[in-house]
Amino acid sequence: MAKDKRSIEERTMDPAAQEMLQRAELLGLSTAFDRADGMAPCPIGSAGMCCRNCGMGPCRLTKADDRGVCGATISTIQARAMARAIAAGTAAHSDHGRDMALTLKAVAMGEAQGYEIKDEAKLLKVAHIYGVDTNERTAKEIANDLADLFIAQFGQQKGRLAPTYRAPKKRQEIWERVGVMPRGVDREVVDVMHRTHIGDDQDAGNILKGAVRCALADGWGGSMIATDISDILFGTPMPNLTQVNLGVLKNDEVNIVVHGHEPTLSQMIVVACQDPEMIEYAKSKGAKGITLSGICCTANEVMVRQGIPAAGNFLHQELAILTGAVEAMVVDVQCIMQAVVDLASNFHTEIITTSPKVMITGATHIEFDEHRALDIAKEIVRRAIDNYPNRGETQIPNIAHDVVPGFSHEYINYMLGGSYRGSFRPLNDAIMSGRIRGAAAVVGCNNPRTTQDLFHYQIVKELLANDVLVVQTGCGAIASGKYGMLLGEAALELAGPGLREVCEATGMPPVLHMGSCVDNTRILTVLTQVVEEGGLGDDISELPAVGLAPEWMSEKALAIATYVVASGGYVIFGGSSPVSGMEKVEGSNAVERLMIEGWEEMFGGKLAFFESYEKMLEETLAHIDKKRAALGLPAYDPSRFGKSGDWRMNEIEKLSEKERKTALYGHPATAGD
Ligand code: BF8
């Protein structure tokens, strides 16, 4: 069924994206925005009421007393669909973690061309966490044992995943008691696929319990492993100055865009692009140099470490091609639209797939192999340079914003505590005093069915004004960067008085870009440390904190949401719920209730979906205030803060001379007058 076509302003709030959508219209080319407008979502499938898990169906249930051919109820079918989505999300993140573990092993064995252990301090720290012997051993020996330990987490059959010991003690006890302690990453994914097969688990609550255990194997398993190894091999992120949006593409340079998620190849492409031989080669083809930029989480991986600019978030992948200025878009895994190949055929852009798991008909496939990574990276860069003379007419929006990303858990610790004694004490104290009302993680995707970035922007802006500290990852972080909110000074202008005081005193910006979507595990680590620092209860569920994914679209987002809920967090998604159908047919929804009331009772966390950002904000602030009250903290009162320090001086500077003297000295004349 076709829907009404939205105006360009209704499709995206990003002026660079608007310019490219106008260009697409002029050129008669379609994008995800057109396709979303042209095809309304299937009302039965989008509500999780269509079961195609066997050959007797697909069964489409629309009334409360409808049954599938096997007798399955709507609740069973919805829980199965949700569980399978969570398993797919877990598989995607965790397979990324597995690839990282195999790369670490290859580096330890001296078999990975071009890679090295960049961050030995992190290697030692992680080895220590997992009990790997570090005494009088080389970095490679330690890395070898650590790689073996990590690789074993995927195939482990019994016991519990090693990273789960990093959670607060109370949380671990809850997982044991409820029976959701993850055993092995692969085992939990298989378990969900099995229990959702025809004729297996037919109790919605039990199906969801299996899904929770699977999601925990992602957050406190595969994803956590991915983050740690990326830091060990490529460096733990630290703040750096770079830029975001399509204006990072250069008219007179070879533009290579890396897109997807895994940092292994993109890190080598960074090296290859900086090779003087490659730069000379680019010049020999008439370009001034080579510009590397990123899309999606590959962008985040190279942005938080090397300061490589981001051309944009999820919905920018087609828009970058529309500039006509991209010689090669190099993709690895996840969030890559098949449409990029068709679209690129209208330009000179070459789409290069690199993973054996991701081939796209019509794209060039150059398979990545970590054993000769640098050679492959150079081959790709050379190909892009060779393509430069084929470039036609271009149109690059002159829009790019400065950003400072790279706030790893380690850096926040250092920033708040100083170089000799890292600490979260100032953060805990600020929350306890009420200067910081609470914290929110605003993460996740773009979705072409909403106005691109609008929910992200409004939510972050309002949270800052309400003295809520914001941490970000994924496409949400890139969205904030596009509107200047990843730059300390600009974001401070939006912050409420208490948050502003704390940020000015500690040098911490009010919006912290922490990395890619697998790096949501950094947020788990931060939450655990906040608990362990003391004063805010003894479990994550007691913290005045909320997780939000305002424009979710991927199965990975559902996996992340579920492991955060199982870790004790309230997670609020924007847009439609994938299990909303029962509401329409019988006035209430058993599966949604299980994810709100059921999960809150079991884990102290819950997952809810809201269509408006105003409602998301209202829920967020109400939850934060409820948790503050439960901890016995003072109620949030912004009038108590902001009357000292730079904030007051800045306000005073805005006054007339007479008013300023009165404010400073209590009367309009000073002794010298
Ligand atoms: O893993 S936020 S659109 S790019 S799924 Fe994809 Fe969503 Fe972006 Fe990063 Ni995460």
Mutational pocket test of ligand 1: of 94, 313, 449, 517, the residue with most ligand atoms within 8 Å of the beta carbon: 517
Would the CB of 72 count as within 6 Å of ligand 1?
Answer: no
Please state, as a whole number, how many other Cβ atoms lie within 10 Å of the Cβ of residue 398.
11
Give the pLDDT band (50/70/90) at residue 672. Answer: very low
Half-sphere exposure (Cβ direction) of 577: Cα atoms closer than 13 Å: 21
Would the CB of 335 count as within 6 Å of ligand 1?
Answer: yes
Would the CB of 518 count as within 6 Å of ligand 1?
Answer: no
* Bond before 638 cis per omega within 30 degrees: no
User: Atom of ligand 1 at shortest distance to CA of 560?
Assistant: 10
User: Atom 10 of ligand 1 has which residue's CA nearest to it?
Assistant: 517
Would the CB of 509 count as within 6 Å of ligand 1?
Answer: no
- Give the pLDDT confidence score for residue 673 in this predicted structure: 46
- Give the pLDDT confidence score for residue 206 in this predicted structure: 97
| Angle of CA points 483, 329, 516, to nearest 5° | 50
Pairing mode of beta strands 50-51, 59-60? antiparallel
pLDDT above 90 covers what percent of the chain? 88
User: Atom 9 of ligand 1 has which residue's CA nearest to it?
Assistant: 297
Residue type, 296: C
Would the CB of 260 count as within 6 Å of ligand 1?
Answer: no
CA dihedral 378, 383, 386, 392 (to 10 degrees): -130
Would the CB of 312 count as within 6 Å of ligand 1?
Answer: no
Q: What separation in Å is there between the alpha carbon of 444 and the centre of ligand 1?
A: 6
Helix, coil or strand: residue 293: strand
Backbone φ and ψ for 243, nearest 5 degrees, come out as -135, 160
Half-sphere exposure (Cβ direction) of 525: Cα atoms closer than 13 Å: 22
Averaged pLDDT for residues 438-442 = 98
Averaged pLDDT for residues 548-573 = 98
Q: What separation in Å is there between the alpha carbon of 338 and the centre of ligand 1?
A: 15
Would the CB of 299 count as within 6 Å of ligand 1?
Answer: no
- Residue 1 scores a pLDDT above 70: no
To which H or E segment does residue 593 belong? helix 590-593
Q: What separation in Å is there between the alpha carbon of 301 and the centre of ligand 1?
A: 12
Would the CB of 310 count as within 6 Å of ligand 1?
Answer: no
Averaged pLDDT for residues 612-641 = 96
User: Atom 6 of ligand 1 has which residue's CA nearest to it?
Assistant: 335
User: Atom of ligand 1 at shortest distance to CA of 557?
Assistant: 5
- Give the pLDDT confidence score for residue 419 in this predicted structure: 58
Quote the CA–CA distance of 579 and 585 in Å, as a whole number. 12
- Give the pLDDT confidence score for residue 656 in this predicted structure: 80
pLDDT tens readout for residues 183-213: 999 999 999 999 999 999 999 999 999 999 9
| Angle of CA points 563, 567, 572, to nearest 5° | 65
Q: Are 109 and 139 in contact (CB under 8 A)?
A: no
Burial 205-229 (b: 16+ CB within 10 A, else e): eebbbbbbbbbbbbbbbbbbbbbbb
Quote the CA–CA distance of 321 and 23 in Å, as a whole number. 11
User: Atom 3 of ligand 1 has which residue's CA nearest to it?
Assistant: 445
Q: Are 517 and 560 in contact (CB under 8 A)?
A: yes
Q: What is the pTM of this model?
A: 0.94
Mutational pocket test of ligand 1: of 313, 315, 445, the residue with most ligand atoms within 8 Å of the beta carbon: 445
Beta bridge partners of 470: 440, 511
pLDDT tens readout for residues 234-292: 999 999 999 999 999 999 999 999 999 999 999 999 999 999 999 999 999 999 999 99
Q: What separation in Å is there between the alpha carbon of 625 and the centre of ligand 1?
A: 30
Would the CB of 336 count as within 6 Å of ligand 1?
Answer: no
Quote the CA–CA distance of 673 and 660 in Å, as a whole number. 14
Would the CB of 475 count as within 6 Å of ligand 1?
Answer: yes
Place of tokens 């007393």: 65
How far CA 530 is from CA of 410, 493, 534, 542, 645, in Å, comes to 13, 26, 7, 11, 26
Give the pLDDT band (50/70/90) at residue 465. Answer: very high
Q: What separation in Å is there between the alpha carbon of 475 and the centre of ligand 1?
A: 6
- Give the pLDDT confidence score for residue 82 in this predicted structure: 97
pLDDT tens readout for residues 466-507: 999 999 999 999 999 999 999 988 899 999 999 999 999 899
Would the CB of 469 count as within 6 Å of ligand 1?
Answer: no
Per DSSP, 407 falls in state: -
Across the chain, how many H-helices and E-strands are there? Answer: 30, 16
- Residue 588 scores a pLDDT above 70: no
Would the CB of 520 count as within 6 Å of ligand 1?
Answer: no
Strand segments, DSSP code E, in 165-281 are 242-244, 254-260
Would the CB of 554 count as within 6 Å of ligand 1?
Answer: yes
Give the pLDDT band (50/70/90) at residue 655. Answer: confident
pLDDT tens readout for residues 107-159: 999 999 889 999 999 999 999 999 999 999 999 999 999 999 999 999 999 99
Q: At what angle do helices 120-129 and 139-155 cross, to 10 degrees?
A: 50
Averaged pLDDT for residues 49-62 = 95
